[in-house]
A = this chain, B = another copy of it.
Amino acid sequence: MSQSLENRKYAPIGVFDSGVGGLTVAREIMRQLPKERIIYFGDTARVPYGSKSRETITRYSRQIIHFLQTKGVKAIVVACNTASAFALETLRPELSIPIIGVVEPGARVAARTSKNGKIGVIGTEGTIGSQIYTTTIRSYAPGAEVIGKPCPLFVPLVEEGWLKDPITVEIARRYLDSFLKSDIDTLIMGCTHYPLLRSTLRGILGDRVNLVNPAYETARCLKELLEEQDLVNDGAGEETGLQYQFYVSDAAEKFKNFANSILPCEIEEAQLIQIEE
**A159-B152 in contact given A45-B56, A46-B46, A52-B45 (Cβ < 8 Å):** yes
Of A22-30, A167-175, A187-195, A230-238, the one with at least 4 CB within 8 A of chain B: A167-175
Number of A residues with CB within 8 Å of any CB on chain B: 25
* Chain A, range 246-277, C-beta contacts under 8 Å to B: 249-251, 254, 276
- Is A44 located at the chain interface by the 8 A CB criterion? yes
- Is A157 located at the chain interface by the 8 A CB criterion? yes
- Cβ–Cβ contact B44 & A52, under 8 A: yes
- Is A53 located at the chain interface by the 8 A CB criterion? yes
Looking across the interface, which residue of chain B has its beta carbon closest to that of A173? Answer: B167
A155 CB contacts on chain B under 8 angstroms: 156
- Is A182 located at the chain interface by the 8 A CB criterion? no
- Is A97 located at the chain interface by the 8 A CB criterion? no
A207 CB contacts on chain B under 8 angstroms: none
- Cβ–Cβ contact A251 & B167, under 8 A: no
Looking across the interface, which residue of chain B has its beta carbon closest to that of A166? Answer: B170
A160 CB contacts on chain B under 8 angstroms: 152-153
- Cβ–Cβ contact A250 & B52, under 8 A: yes
- Is A130 located at the chain interface by the 8 A CB criterion? no
- Is A51 located at the chain interface by the 8 A CB criterion? yes
A174 to B167, CA, bound (A): 10
A194: min CB distance to chain B, Å = 15
A153 CB contacts on chain B under 8 angstroms: 153, 156-157, 160
A276 to B60, CA, bound (A): 11
- Cβ–Cβ contact B167 & A156, under 8 A: no
Pairs A–B under 8 Å by Cβ, sample size 19: A44-B52, A45-B52, A46-B46, A47-B51, A51-B159, A51-B251, A52-B251, A53-B250, A56-B251, A153-B153, A153-B156, A153-B157, A153-B160, A155-B156, A167-B167, A167-B170, A167-B174, A170-B170, A276-B276
